[in-house]
Amino acid sequence: MAILDCAIVGGGPAGLTAGLYTTRGGLENVVMFEKGMPGGQITNSSEIENYPGVTGEITGMDLMMPWPAQCQKFGLVHEMVKVTCVSKSGDIFTIHKEDGTTTDAHSVIIGTGSSPRRVGFKGEDELFGKGVSTCATCDGFFYKGKEVVVIGGGDTALEEALYLAKICSKVYIVHRRDAFRSAPNTIKRVHNTENIELVLDSTPDEVYGDDMGVTGIRVINKDGQSRDIEVPGVFTFVGNDVNNETLIQKDGNFLCEMNELGQVKVNLKMQTSLPGLFATGDMRQDAPKQVVSAAGDGAVAALSAISYVDELLN
């Protein structure tokens, strides 16, 4: 296979936008390596109301649906495979894939995003997928007319609690502090929703169940008092970890400079410390963690990659 002008790793809002701008901007051979369906983590969101120009009730899946076709129109190729490592020798990058094959490229734009973090209470791993979930859009319907617990106090927890409150008879929000780190309007909506009960200053201790799945969760408040909440569903939304594994080299070092949080250091052109490697979206330092900014990063990185490849080859 010919050396790609650009390899894009990750097909979320950042990777897809990079795909649109690189192909439309004249790069010839561009492949986006995405392990699943393109769209990224926003496809798990039940509602998005802050993507400019998109109004009305729209899910993350609805928002992302047209993006891949728009890129493919300009020549972007999607290869559905998990990338295990990105390495560089001389001026050539190599994309190592889970199926054992490799692809070489003159430039790489990486946008592997982030993944839901586990909370760390007893039973969480054992009952994951059997009542413990990180996706309300995917699993909320299983609890139609039933009570569920949501754990977390950020934008995701509160927004997903509001979504679940429309399906479920009652939603308990268990949060370890007495203040939320969410948008004021979202907090207001939570307070105004009758079937949401706040269980504040409390942390989950253990989720338990039987052969059928989860039957309840024990939480402990700051005074050490425990409370059992009997529910068949527990949704955890306690933040995300950066997906930076593909940048780890054989010697254990990262391919480029990272910060102490494991995020990629970039400049305003989305250039990393390694020439020809650009990082975008949730995985880069100081990311606002928004679809619109991830898409913006993708466009910036693509324009930088076009200049880099142009200079390298001409």
Catalytic residues: 135, 138-139
Q: Which stretch binds ligand FAD (CB under 6 A): 6-14, 164-172, 198-206, 209-217?
A: 6-14
What is the number of H-type helices and E-type strands within the chain? 7, 18
The contact pattern for ligand NAP, residues 258-297, with x = CB under 6 A and - = no contact, is -------------------------------xx-------
Cβ of residue 240: shortest distance to ligand FAD, in angstroms?
Answer: 7
The item of ligand FAD, ligand NAP, none sharing an interface with residue 41, based on CB under 5 to 8 Å by kind, is: ligand FAD
Q: How far apart are CA 189 and CA 187, in angstroms?
A: 5
Q: How far apart are CA 7 and CA 180, in angstroms?
A: 39
Cβ of residue 125: shortest distance to ligand NAP, in angstroms?
Answer: 14
- Binders of ligand FAD among 73-132, rule CB under 6 A? 82-83, 111-114
Q: Which residue's CB is nearer to ligand FAD, number 29 or number 246?
A: 246
Q: How far apart are CA 16 and CA 166, in angstroms?
A: 32
Cβ of residue 7: shortest distance to ligand NAP, in angstroms?
Answer: 27
Cβ burial of 130 (10 Å; 0-12, 13-18, 19+) is middle
CA diameter of the chain: 69
150 touches 164 (CB < 8 A): yes
One of 14, 20, 151, 279 touching ligand FAD (CB under 6 A): 14
The contact pattern for ligand NAP, residues 154-193, with x = CB under 6 A and - = no contact, is xxxx-x----------------xx---x------------
Dihedrals phi, psi of 169, to nearest 5 degrees: -75, -35
The item of ligand FAD, ligand NAP, none sharing an interface with residue 114, based on CB under 5 to 8 Å by kind, is: ligand FAD
Q: How far apart are CA 296 and CA 282, in angstroms?
A: 12
The item of ligand FAD, ligand NAP, none sharing an interface with residue 176, based on CB under 5 to 8 Å by kind, is: ligand NAP
114 touches 240 (CB < 8 A): yes
Q: How far apart are CA 51 and CA 65, in angstroms?
A: 14
Q: Which residues does residue 150 pair with via DSSP β-bridges, in sequence order?
A: 173, 235
Cβ of residue 58: shortest distance to ligand NAP, in angstroms?
Answer: 13
Q: Which two tokens stand for residue 164?
A: 């679940």
One of 22, 31, 34, 79 touching ligand FAD (CB under 6 A): 34
60 touches 44 (CB < 8 A): yes
26 makes contact with ligand NAP (CB under 6 A): no
Cβ of residue 157: shortest distance to ligand NAP, in angstroms?
Answer: 6
- Which residue's CB atom is positioned nearest to ligand NAP? 154
Could you give the residue ranges of the DSSP H alpha helices within 30-135?
60-64, 67-72
Cβ of residue 115: shortest distance to ligand NAP, in angstroms?
Answer: 11
Query: 290: which residues sit within 8 A by CB, 6+ positions away?
Result: 50
Q: For binding to ligand FAD (CB under 6 A), which residues are involved?
A: 9-15, 33-36, 40-42, 44-45, 48, 50, 82-83, 111-114, 156, 243, 246, 281-282, 289-292, 294
